[in-house]
Amino acid sequence: MKRLIGLIGVCSIIFLWSGNAVAVPPIQDCTVTGAGFFVVGGEVFVGEASDIAGVETINWVHTAAGIVFTTMTPDADGIECRLNGTVSADFLGTGTASVNGVPGHSYLIEIEDNRPAPDAVVLVASIAGPPTVRANDTRDFVSPLTVVIPPFLPVTEGDSGRGLAMLRLDAITCFYRGDETTSETYELTFCADPDGPHLMAGDMLDIIHAELRIMTDARSSELTVVEAEIASGGPVAGIPDTYSIVIGDLSGGILYSFAGAVEDGDIAITLLP
């Protein structure tokens, strides 16, 4: 990928460290989405990009005091995504962006995805009958998973009535009672914790085992199915993603630059085979 001479200097593809040449990890096809807000300066960015089989597209907006930066989709001079400890992406445009509606601006955006979102974890259980037949959902996790106690369990088929459902998270058992008014959910009543503390909806736990079970339903349908989303797949705590942008002016100098840790927002870079 070409670099912006006079804006960011010349970057080689070989780094020298202790006299040894270290090759840059290879560029991979990827998709990128991101959004973030920086409280101190008020900067905001949102966008998406992709590099798939040599076809590059980018749709990115960055706003700051007196600055509205917009890429000119689909023209991008270079998108590089790499796995090098963390997942990183660089976007380069040489005269392919506008600032406050004026086209012809060069830019370099560099980002790191340091906290990839986990997969959502949704348990599904059912009860049918008569005669009563239950299908419980049991999960065991190789490493501790951070989950949230859901306030209710949506019924995706059938009716809850005044039925009962149970969600077990390690040694903690949470009991849910059907909402008789709508019969569309099981609502949390209480959680039993052998260690004593009172747990409520929204509390977070680290678990290695989960189980969902419908104990009774409304008896008004042959089949009732309920779900428990215990991990949403959203951003997790940890090292924040990083984001930087350099925008060139029309004479080849630097018009604007910014860099920061993405504490309010998230960047997701997906590397493709």
> Residue 160 in contact with residue 216, Cβ under 8 Å?
no
The pLDDT confidence band at residue 265, using thresholds 50, 70 and 90, is confident
The pLDDT of residue 161: 84
Q: Are 97 and 71 in contact (CB under 8 A)?
A: yes
DSSP code for 249: -
pTM attached to this predicted model: 0.54
Could you tell me which residues come within 8 angstroms of residue 30 by beta carbon, excluding any fewer than 6 positions away?
A: 50, 51, 79, 81, 89, 269, 270, 271, 272
For residue 264, what pLDDT is reported?
Answer: 86
Query: What pLDDT, on the 0 to 100 scale, is given for residue 12?
Result: 33
Joined tokens for residue 19:
């006299």
Over pLDDT 90: what percentage of the chain?
Answer: 52
pLDDT confidence of residue 129: 79
Distance (Å, whole) CA 186 – CA 217: 10
| The one-letter amino acid at 64 | A
Long-range contacts of the stretch 181-189 (C-beta < 8 A, 24+):
183/155, 183/159, 183/218, 183/220, 184/154, 184/155, 184/159, 184/160, 185/152, 185/153, 185/154, 185/155, 185/160, 186/152, 186/153, 186/155, 186/160, 186/226, 187/151, 187/152, 188/149, 188/150, 188/151, 188/152
CATH 2.40.420 fits 121-231, yes or no: no
**pLDDT digits 0-9 by tens, 125-138:** 999 878 889 999 99
Per the listing, tokens 């189980």 go with 211
CA 134 – CA 119 distance, rounded (Å): 26
